[in-house]
Amino acid sequence: MEIVRREKAGSPESLRIRRQRAQELLRGPELEGAALEKYVTERVMTTTLDRALNWARANSMFPATFGLACCAIEMMAIVASRVDSARIGSEAFRATPRQADLMIISGRVSIKMAPIVRRVYDQMLEPKWAIAMGACSSSMGVFNNYAIVPADKFMPVDVHVPGCPPRPEALMHGIFKLRKKIMEDPDEGWRRRYEAIGTEEIVRRDDIDPLADSEVGTGDGRDQAVNVFKPGDTAGA
Amino acid sequence: MPDATGLELLAADLREQVPDAVLDTEHFRGKAALHVAPASIGAVLEFLRGRGFTFLASVHGLDYYPEEPRFGVQYELLDMSALDRITVKLRVPLDDPHVPSVTPDWPTADHQEREIYDMFGVIFDGHPDLRRILMPDDYEGHPQRRDFPVGGEPVLFTYNEAQGTQYTD
């Protein structure tokens, strides 16, 4: 086999020609009037920043690595090849709530576990969503007794997936529903539904650096707000 | 299991060693049980340990509602060399649910007595750390009592709702 060594474009002339060609390729053809109009409508999409953000959020939900019961086994199956949640970008289960924005409550929550689940949820960064998976975390199912508490009692839930446990396909359906909701109805966020606007967690400076002066905590009182609900809201749990 | 005769012999010895301890003996379906007075439970278990029952397999609580005395505590003992088992039963009333703790002598009873306290409200005097073990510390009531409401969420299906069914009032 013969090796052909082509001469590289060494002369300044050919470089100029190539650069012009590349610029034309980027700029597109020189069009005017109706042809330009047609070109723009075909190739350029305009949108609002909100819509673009929602599109990006809906297609990169990171669930928290968080399993509670038998539902967690089905939850693990959604990242496997059969239902493959990677196709909507939610296959990356994050091992810390700080990197996650979707909590799948996969199983029954006992009264003793509820504050811990709530704490993990509070540690997730906004915007965040929650799916109550299975009968236990929605209506308590067969464990409808003194020990178990439904997820709605102590935290906001966006989508309920019924089943005992739901098949991976059902959970995937729930994730698709949530994705649709994020893309189309971002105002349906839980703060609006629970009338909790303005209760975002605000980290005080001495939480970040315990050695710093604690004189910053003299604001309008909002810097004291760490919890999202009033304490009485979880009393029935 | 000690057979019926063996159980009676054991009870006779126990009556000599610990007076007023044995209230009754029971041999039912091959299982021997001693009914004892609550105050003497420590001495009874100590006597049985001397007879080879060196392993306290389980301590559990019962609620005989509406009978009185209402609560029961049962101690399952195992003789590992003779492969023998015996149950020691005692009953305490609702208004005075006090049982001497056997945790100082049988460390395995620690968590099980805490669980009986948590679920039934039987108080074990002398327990080193009698707290709730399963339910949260601020929980009110003892959920395994038979007069405790089942609780949970009312589940009303559309069909029941139309009929006006109320499950939890």
Q: Nearest-CA distance from A135 to chain B in Å? A: 11
Residue-level pLDDT at B157 = 62
Please name the member of A112, A144, A147 whose beta carbon is closest to the beta carbon of B155.
Answer: A144
Three-class HEC string of B29-70 = CCEEEEEECHHHHHHHHHHHHHCCCCEEEEEEEEECCCCCCC
Least confident of A119-128, A178-187, B19-28, B51-60: A178-187
CA–CA gap between residue A78 and residue A61 (Å, rounded): 13
DSSP element (H, E) containing A92: none
A150–B134 CB contact, under 8 Å? no
Instruction: Identify all chain B residues contacting A112, using CB atoms and an 8 Å cutoff.
Output: 134-136
Q: What is the mean pLDDT of chain A?
A: 78
Please name the member of B135, B143, B152 whose beta carbon is closest to the beta carbon of A140.
Answer: B152
Residue-level pLDDT at A225 = 42
Dihedral sign for Cα atoms in the order A150, A116, B141, B103: positive
Three-class HEC string of A209-237 = CCCCCHHHHCCCCHHHCCCCCCHHHHCCC
Question: What is the rounded average pLDDT of the residues B37-59?
Answer: 93
Q: Which of A180, A173, A177, A186 is nearest to A127 (CA)?
A: A186
Instruction: Identify all chain B residues contacting A150, using CB atoms and an 8 Å cutoff.
Output: 153
State the complex-level ipTM: 0.70
pLDDT surpassing 50 at residue A228: no
Instruction: Identify all chain B residues contacting A139, using CB atoms and an 8 Å cutoff.
Output: 153, 155
A139–B148 CB contact, under 8 Å? no
- Calculate the CA B10 to chain-centre distance: 21
Residue with tokens 């056997």: B102
Q: Nearest-CA distance from B156 to chain A in Å? A: 10
Q: Which of B102, B107, B103, B140 is nearest to B121 (CA)?
A: B140
Chain B residues within 8 A (CB-CB) of chain A?
Answer: 134-136, 139, 143, 148-153, 155
Least confident of A20-29, A202-211, B134-143: A202-211
Least confident of A75-84, A148-157, B34-43, B62-71: A148-157
Residue-level pLDDT at A150 = 87
Please name the member of A139, A144, A146 whose beta carbon is closest to the beta carbon of B143.
Answer: A146
CA–CA gap between residue A158 and residue A132 (Å, rounded): 8
Q: Nearest-CA distance from A192 to chain B in Å? A: 25
A28 SS3 class: coil
Residue type (1 letter), A28 = G
Q: In chain B, which residue's Cα lies nearest the Cα of A149?
A: B152
Q: How does pLDDT run across A197-209, given as a tens digit for each residue? A: 666 655 555 555 5
pLDDT surpassing 80 at residue B41: yes
CA–CA gap between residue B2 and residue B8 (Å, rounded): 9
CA–CA gap between residue A57 and residue A63 (Å, rounded): 12
Q: In chain A, which residue's Cα lies nearest the Cα of B156?
A: A139
Please indicate, yes or no, whether the overall pTM of this predicted structure exceeds 0.90: no
A140–B139 CB contact, under 8 Å? no
Q: Nearest-CA distance from A231 to chain B in Å? A: 14
A146–B153 CB contact, under 8 Å? no
Q: In chain B, which residue's Cα lies nearest the Cα of A141?
A: B155
CA–CA gap between residue A150 and residue A137 (Å, rounded): 5
Q: Nearest-CA distance from B149 to chain A in Å? A: 8
Instruction: Identify all chain B residues contacting A145, using CB atoms and an 8 Å cutoff.
Output: 143, 150-152
A163 SS3 class: coil
